[in-house]
Amino acid sequence: MSFTDGTYVCGGVLVAQDVVLTAAHCLQNGGLTANAADVKVWAGISSVFSASSRNVLSVSRRTINNSYNASRFSNDIAVLSLATPAPDSAKPILIANQDQIDRANTEFQTSYTQGGNNPANLLVSGWGSTSVNGSSGSSDLQQTLLTGVPDNTCNNQWGSGVTSGEANIFVCAISPSPLVVRDSCFGDSGGPLVWQDPLRASDSDFGLRLLGLVSFGDGCASSLPGSIPK
């Protein structure tokens, strides 16, 4: 995304061959909002060295959620309509339906122990920083496993923070073990948080469903769970 004072890189998720979801805050910088012409997309690659002017995708329309609140990061979602379909090497992911969201929430509620070892039941990926000090992003697509945190636990931990009273519109995730440093980080915004539906694991897509988009956290890999809008 290009603004008058620089260029910003974020993640995105292909949900149809010509539709990408990303974080709304990726399209805004202070009082500036990127127009569709300012946004370029690369899909179906796993290295920045594979990105070129020959495989760039233009955006014909960008739509920011009308309820997006930049100060609280609520409803931090934007839709990019591509001018041309993404290549066949880029496969769209299905968005979790309400039943799947409810079952994922139940799984997090029954399996999570605060401060303990937890199941690695969420996958996050992106091009962002690979260190907690926020150094430059990765040239290769990275991924790691996280654990889902129950809404009420996340809300209590953040206290009067940005998720207070809005826990039900976020998915919260943290490292499965307090002894292991895992998290999304700077530059991963807009990327996918993926959950596997055990009832659809035998499907051709292994039951992988998009549960949310990387939005915000307390830095990277802190003791507070990061939050992702549903």
The pLDDT score that the predictor gives to residue 28 is 86
Q: How far apart are CA 163 and CA 228, in angstroms?
A: 10
**Which residue shows structure tokens 């980080």?**
185
The pLDDT score that the predictor gives to residue 2 is 44
**Secondary structure (DSSP) of 135-155:** -PBPSB-EEEEEEEE-HHHHH
SS3 category, 117: coil
**Secondary structure (DSSP) of 157-172:** HHTTSTTTT-GGGEEE
Which amino acid belongs to residue 99?
Answer: D
Q: How far, rounded to the nearest angstrom, does the alpha carbon of residue 150 sit from its chain's CA centroid? A: 18
Residues contacting residue 162 through CB under 8 Å, at least 6 positions apart? 71, 72, 73, 74, 216, 227
- Alpha carbon distance, N-terminus to C-terminus of the chain: 23
List of domains in the chain: 2-82 (2.40.10.10), 94-229 (2.40.10.10)
Whole-number Cα distances in Å, 165 to 71, 101, 126, 155: 14, 19, 28, 7
The pLDDT score that the predictor gives to residue 229 is 60
Cβ–Cβ < 8 Å for 146, 206: no
Which amino acid belongs to residue 137?
Answer: G
Q: How far, rounded to the nearest angstrom, does the alpha carbon of residue 75 sit from its chain's CA centroid? A: 12
* pLDDT digit string, tens, across residues 195-214: 999 999 999 999 999 999 99
This prediction's pTM: 0.88
Regions of the chain where pLDDT drops below 70: 1-7, 134-135, 159-167, 218, 221, 223-224, 226-230
The pLDDT score that the predictor gives to residue 74 is 86
